[in-house]
């Protein structure tokens, strides 16, 4: 059992950025410090501070953190769009690392490329404080309809 403070919503259809951040307490995204700043069916945005605890041994942002943020933002967006129809799960995450970062605030922004009956494809771009791209990724989500 996790240390989550807030019970999981039945659906992400009407979740706010504040509620999504609160719902994430006690999870891996909370551990890395991800804060949701926009949540909707066409855009999900989040930010976090790059700190030494998120570095890899070379002293730069660990790529696993970037993959986690990309997966998280896309999954939330897909879940908001799919709403009460069921749940979504990630089936592929392809992340490209473009620029090393040692400190500062990073922002991730997820937008849909395709939303179909069974799958969705989301693109996520991560930028630094000056707007330079740090990483980009695509996440394919499987739509899991509610079972009757």
How far apart (Å, rounded) are the C-alpha atoms in residues 69 and 107? 9
Task: Single out the catalytic residue among 18, 49, 71, 109.
Answer: 71
DSSP annotation string for 70-135: HHHHHHHHHHHHHGGGEEEEEEEEEEEE-S---SEEEEEEEEEEEE-SSEEEEEEEEE-TTS-EEE
- Would you call 71 a catalytic residue per the annotation? yes
Residues with a catalytic annotation lie at: 71
């Amino acid at each position: 059992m996790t240390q989550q403070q807030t019970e999981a919503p039945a659906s992400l259809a009407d979740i706010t950025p504040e509620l999504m951040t609160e719902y994430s307490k006690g999870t891996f995204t909370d551990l890395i410090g991800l804060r949701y700043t926009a949540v909707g069916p066409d855009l999900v945005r989040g930010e976090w501070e790059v700190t030494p605890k998120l570095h890899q041994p070379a002293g730069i942002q660990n790529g696993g953190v970037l993959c986690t943020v990309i997966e998280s933002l896309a999954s939330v967006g897909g879940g908001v769009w799919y709403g009460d129809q069921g749940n979504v799960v990630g089936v592929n995450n392809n992340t490209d690392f473009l620029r090393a970062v040692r400190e500062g605030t990073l922002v991730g922004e997820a937008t849909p490329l395709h939303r179909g009956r069974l799958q969705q494809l989301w693109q996520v771009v991560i930028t630094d404080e000056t707007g330079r791209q740090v990483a980009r990724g695509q996440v394919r989500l499987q739509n899991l309809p509610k079972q009757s």
